[in-house]
C-alpha cells in the first residue's frame, strides 16, 4: 500500500529544494536582496495557493513561471506607463533574422490582440516561455537563459522557432499577410 503524502508535505518536498534557485533568480531580476526576498515570498504564497492545480512535474519551471509573472505584475502595477506611444514607436521590432516581428511590436505597444494571445498560447511551454521572457518581458537572451537554466543558443533557437510558429499561425488566420 502506497501512502500519498498530504499536500503540505508534498509542497515542502517539491518547493524547498528550489528556494535557493528562486532567490538567486529573484536577486538577478531585482538587484536588491530585500526586494528579492519579498518576491520569493510572494511567489511561495501564490504557489501554495495554487498547489492543488500543480501536476507535480517540473516544480522549478512552475515556480520560476510564478516568480516571473509575479515580478511582471508588480512592475506593471508600479509603472503602468513605462513606455509612452512615442517611445514604443522608436523600439525596433525585429527578430534576430532581421525580419519584422509583429508579435514583439504589439507586445511592446501593450496591444496583444486575441489572435496574438491565441498564437502564443498554442506554443509548447518551452517555446512560449522563451518568447514571453524575451519579446514581452524584455529580458536579454542571457537573462532568459539564466532564468530557464539553458544555454543562450537554446534560447535563440527556441525564440526563432517560436516567432516562426506565431508568424505562421497569424498568417493562417489572416491576421498577417505573407511577405512576397
pLDDT digits 0-9 by tens, 51-110: 888 888 888 888 988 998 898 888 777 654 433 443 334 333 434 444 444 444 444 445
Domain end (from 56, 82, 108) = 82
Query: In this structure, are 78 and 150 located in the same domain?
Result: no
Give the long-range contacts of residues 167-176, CB within 8 A, separation 24 or more. Answer: 167/101, 167/102, 167/103, 169/118, 169/119, 169/122, 170/102, 170/103, 170/115, 170/116, 170/119, 173/115, 173/119, 175/113, 175/115, 175/116, 176/102
Instruction: Tell me the CATH number at 34.
Output: 1.10.1740.10
Mean pLDDT of the chain: 76
In a domain, 180, yes or no: no
In a domain, 148, yes or no: yes
Q: Compute the Cα dihedral for 86, 89, 92, 93 and give only its sign.
A: positive
Domain end (from 82, 108, 139) = 82
Query: In this structure, are 66 and 96 located in the same domain?
Result: no
Query: In this structure, are 131 and 108 located in the same domain?
Result: yes
Domain end (from 82, 106, 132) = 82
Q: Which domain holds residue 3?
A: 1-82
- Higher-pLDDT residue of 31 and 70 is 70
**What is the structure's pLDDT at 5?**
60
Query: In this structure, are 101 and 167 located in the same domain?
Result: yes
Rounded Cα distance, 124 and 119, in Å = 11
Rounded Cα distance, 75 and 53, in Å = 26
**What is the structure's pLDDT at 38?**
93
Confidence band (pLDDT; 50, 70, 90) for 116? Answer: confident
Query: In this structure, are 78 and 51 located in the same domain?
Result: yes
Is the pLDDT score of 37 beyond 90? yes
pTM: 0.46
Query: In this structure, are 1 and 77 located in the same domain?
Result: yes
Query: In this structure, are 101 and 63 located in the same domain?
Result: no
Query: In this structure, are 70 and 101 located in the same domain?
Result: no
Query: In this structure, are 49 and 105 located in the same domain?
Result: no
In a domain, 87, yes or no: no
| Structure confidence by residue, pLDDT tens digits, 158-171 | 999 999 998 898 88
CA neighbours closer than 13 Å in the CB half-sphere of residue 138 = 16
Query: In this structure, are 96 and 168 located in the same domain?
Result: yes
How many domains are contained in the chain? 2
Amino acid at each position: 500500500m502506497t501512502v500519498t503524502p498530504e499536500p503540505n508535505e508534498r509542497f515542502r518536498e517539491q518547493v524547498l529544494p528550489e528556494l535557493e534557485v528562486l532567490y538567486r533568480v529573484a536577486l538577478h531580476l531585482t538587484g536588491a536582496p530585500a526586494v528579492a526576498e519579498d518576491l520569493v515570498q510572494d511567489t511561495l504564497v501564490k504557489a501554495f495557493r495554487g498547489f492543488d492545480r500543480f501536476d507535480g512535474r517540473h516544480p522549478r519551471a512552475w515556480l520560476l513561471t510564478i516568480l516571473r509573472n509575479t515580478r511582471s505584475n508588480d512592475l506593471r502595477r508600479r509603472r503602468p506607463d513605462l513606455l509612452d506611444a512615442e517611445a514604443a514607436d522608436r523600439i525596433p521590432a525585429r527578430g534576430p533574422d532581421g525580419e519584422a516581428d509583429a508579435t514583439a511590436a504589439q507586445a511592446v505597444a501593450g496591444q496583444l490582440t486575441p489572435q496574438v494571445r491565441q498564437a502564443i498560447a498554442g506554443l509548447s511551454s518551452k517555446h512560449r516561455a522563451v518568447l514571453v521572457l524575451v519579446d514581452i518581458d524584455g529580458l536579454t537572451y542571457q537573462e532568459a537563459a539564466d532564468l530557464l537554466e539553458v544555454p543562450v543558443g537554446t534560447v535563440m533557437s527556441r525564440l526563432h522557432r517560436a516567432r516562426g510558429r506565431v508568424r505562421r499561425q497569424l498568417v493562417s488566420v489572416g491576421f498577417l499577410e505573407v511577405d512576397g
